[in-house]
Amino acid sequence: MTRPVPEPLPADFFPADCPVPTVPVLGSRKWAWKIIRCLEGGPRRFSELRVPLVGITAKVLAESLRSMEQDGVVARTAYAENPPRVEYELTPLGRTLLVPMDSLCEWGQEHLGSLLAARLEHERHGG
Amino acid sequence: MTRPVPEPLPADFFPADCPVPTVPVLGSRKWAWKIIRCLEGGPRRFSELRVPLVGITAKVLAESLRSMEQDGVVARTAYAENPPRVEYELTPLGRTLLVPMDSLCEWGQEHLGSLLAARLEHERHGG
DNA sequence: GGTGCCGGTTACTTCAACGGTACCGACCGC
DNA sequence: GCGGTCGGTACCGTTGAAGTAACCGGCACC
C-alpha cells in the first residue's frame, strides 16, 4: 500500500452540478420520509396520515405536505364535498425517491444502532 | 384498477426499530456528506479539507468533524509535531455510508434539477 | 521580539424547523 | 342556534445548525 493520499483535493473537487447537496436538501425535514412511506401504497387523506405519523401535529403535517407539494414530490387534490376531503399522493418524481430511501433504510437497519450507540456513549462520557 | 387504497394505515405502521428516521438523523448536517466524500480517498488534514469545502468556516468544519467523530463515522488523529498536524479519516462504519450516499447522488443527478426547478417555480408564483 | 502557520475556541447573531395552543369556515344533523 | 367533522391557519416559543468575527498556544523562522 504505497498510496497514502497521493494528491491534495482541489478547490473544484465538487462541481457546480454536484449531487452531494441532494442529501441535506432532502434530509432536512424530519417527517418527509415517513410521509413518503405512508403514501407509497396510494393516495391518503390528511387525517388518515395523522394515524401512523404518531406525534405529528396538524400544523407540521400541513407544512411538510405543502413543502413537498412545492418540491413536486406530492400532489394535493381537494374535493368540494362536505365534510371536506383532501387527498395526497406521490407524484412520479416522488416515487423515484423510494429507491434511495430504500438504500438508506437498508443502511439504517444494519448500522443505525451502532451510530446511535456511539452517540449515547459520548453523551455519557462528555457530559 | 379496483385497488384505491384498500386499508387504512395502522397506528403502528412504523415499528419502533424502523430505519426511516435514519434519513433526518444523517441528513441534518449540511456539510457532513461532502466531508465524507472528501475523506473517501484517504486521510486528510484539517486545512486540506477546507480547500474543497468552499465557504465552510473553521468553526463549522470543526463542529461537523467532532459530531461525526462522536457518531463513529470519522476518526481523528493528532500528531505531536510542530506545526500541529491532525488527520481525519473514515472509520469502517463511515465507509458503509458511501453506498446509500451513492444511491442518493444518483437520484440527485437525475432528479435534483426537477425538484429545485419546481421549488423556484413556486417561489416566483407564491412569493 | 515580531510574524506566520496550524488547528482550533469563544461569543454573538441569524435562521429554519419543530412544537403547542387557539381558533376558523363550511356544512351537516339535531 | 349548538355541537361535531374535516382540513386547515395564526401566533408564539424553543432548539439546533450555520455564519461572522475575534482570539489563542506553541513553535519556527527571521
| Closest of A13, A126, A29, A37 to residue A88, by C-alpha | A37
C-alpha cell recorded at residue B85 = 498536524
User: Which tops the pLDDT comparison, A8 or B7?
Assistant: A8
Q: Apex CA A36: angle with CA A35 and CA A38, to 5°? A: 65
Is the confidence at residue A44, as pLDDT, over 50?
yes
Mean pLDDT of chain A, nearest integer: 90
Q: Using CB atoms, which residue from B30, B51, B110 is nearest to A8? A: B51
C-alpha cell recorded at residue B100 = 446509500
How far is Cα B14 from Cα B20, in angstroms, rounded to an integer? 8
- In this prediction, residue B3 carries a pLDDT of 46
What are B32-64's pLDDT values in tens digits?
A: 999 999 999 999 999 999 999 999 999 999 999
Q: How confident is the model at residue B6 (pLDDT cuts 50, 70, 90)?
A: low
A29 touches B at CB < 8 Å: yes
B98: Cα separation from own chain's centroid: 10
Mean pLDDT of chain B, nearest integer: 91
Query: Do A5 and B104 lie within an 8 Å CB cutoff?
Result: no
Question: pTM here?
Answer: 0.92
Nucleic strand D within 7 A of Cβ A66: yes
